[in-house]
Structure 1
């Protein structure tokens, strides 16, 4: 008999490890790490009132549990990060990189190569970065080429052999032939690579001092050619160093992590500033998803742990002496343990309060807000340009020639032919565009004739569209069946507009769609979003027409009550209603007030009319 979830939890060890919650289908719901597995997992099922709504919903879905015991919290942190990226659990916060960041790679070959890449392979190579700005990456590569005469393109001996006799296809081709193909001794090449690593790690001050000393030694020894080369290398380093922004008066290696949240788009942005020897040598950002009911403390912990548990963050050899964060973490003990394991020393983690660190954190937060602003615009543009599935499917259901992105829907309203009106509503990409709604007073039809009213309105609307060269709809929808559709087709044919767009009728009784030239109705599935779109447009046109009709009838009724008063015609009745708002307010007004507005004679007549 299978072991139950409660029994599994009861047998969990009090050891560090990773736990994986799964639903009834075996899909991963959440992956987390723990210092003591049993205590951490039990906490989800105890005191559920203390959990946020997101966690309470998740707990109800948990059907199975899988754990992996590790030797340390640091090991659990790395394993958690790996499993999250592999399985993408629904309730873990996830990252959305807007691009694949470039790194500078030093390969693990016999003669290591240095080149930029966006692909990271776990083969022992070292990766420096990430570089948020390609310009910074290019400056760094140029400095490496000029200072150390190293090739910085992804060429290999095999590629060189294939290109013998061919044109030189890269500016550092000669450098490769010189230092990668044997002209340089192994020792000289190794020394150059060590210096490149120091440069990439931000240790420019010590590197410049060392190159300057080597230049002076060469000059003293009368090795002028070598001294000149070292002078050029020093100038190249100084030029690069001058372009680095000094952000900290103390030359300490620091990493700063900032988190900003944009609830309106349900995303957050994490920004990292890498400060080495007081200079800002790198920064990058990540967008964070699945943040509903997630605290900024939890997001901060996940962001920092994810960065340092990535093998690329360790291979650089440039981990900081201090870490600063914009918000406290829920539990920083696993990260402390991990950094101790990697560096062999304690790395303090603080929220900055004053000085350069506080100022730099404000700058990081400003960058996060800026990135969220860009993300907001990006999402708005994507949403604006997104064509809903309901629109795409509608094209297939009705066999339309083009996507019905713009739908104009018409309806009539009258009571036994009195106060006849019509309405037009506009839907663009499945959403109402109220700024383009239209109302029509029926002018040429006498009595209750919906077909004639529809013909009048369509001819007026699309004659205007043709004359003023307005945007034509992709689909004209009329509220009604075959009769209304025939009236619409007749009207559009009369003004030579029928070929410019598609037309359809939606009959309410069975929600059937009628098309010109087709005897049978099209039956769109009842639960289809496409049918719901047509129904929404039809119902909105009906609402808009009814509202207009009621207002017109009300205005007519009120005007009739006022025009029965001697000396009050339609014009004065309209002015009275506009000024006082209703007949009730007119009735309640004093004779003096009415006379001030209408004059003594008319004002007195109105006052007496409502009191006699």
Structure 2
């Protein structure tokens, strides 16, 4: 992590665990579990290191089999203390990417990322869920999704079932009905004609829902759910409810990617205690810099002035390093930053590029001053 971190780093052997764990700090941080050869087999984070590490070794009868297996292999634990929970989240993510521990499979395994690929050309457009989309003409790609391929497939299928576009035709170009047509799950796109036209219009609306340009499909699901409930058709209502949840899941992941690709200049703060905050300068999916500040500050340089100068320095450096397309290696960090900002909007300031120019110094100064007033009253 960046400047300003306190790193509490201590190795704990299992033989003295009973005594040593009780001495861990009650603060945020990351713990690294190691095997007999010193290899890192698991990385975790917590807003309270002592309680979290203790939970693995005390009253563990209710633990899942995977956790029990992990604990049996742990011979040493290293902890790294951070100032804030946000730092712990980001540090955990970077360590998992760096060491690829065997028990942190979700973030190290490329197959844990999934993509939705949808053709845009006319015809019976087949949706494909894949781990590695290949460049293709006349296709749109959504992702990467951090959920498993099976989870993404089920989400898409739930929506398709509601609109009877779950065609499972396998007869090449022949206009013959598929099995789902006979079961009432396919509106007949496999037969061509009007059925295919309706299908293509629905697929276009599905694409619009995923990219945020058309909410009509989601609105239809919400309307049909309410109508089914009013008619006491609770099975149908539940079906549309589940499809709406699937749509929200898919849309949320796309929002994370869109957010990261906008390459915004973001400043956030976390309060450490009554008189101290830590400020983070963020671009895309990276924390560029961080620093602690006291409420009193340096009399020779007001707090808002110092934050303004650091903002200019951080956000005007290495701008060419940020490309338009976000890759799989960035999605975990982007998810952490997006979720934090969504939950703590009052601690977040977004700085337009033009404000970094000297001609707009007044606008930048005013925005930072107003932003910091949300913190200052709590220090009095």
Shorter-chain TM-score tier: 0.3 to 0.5
TM-score by structure 2 length? 0.32
TM-score by structure 1 length? 0.21
Looking at CA atoms only, which structure, 1 or 2, has the larger radius of gyration? 1
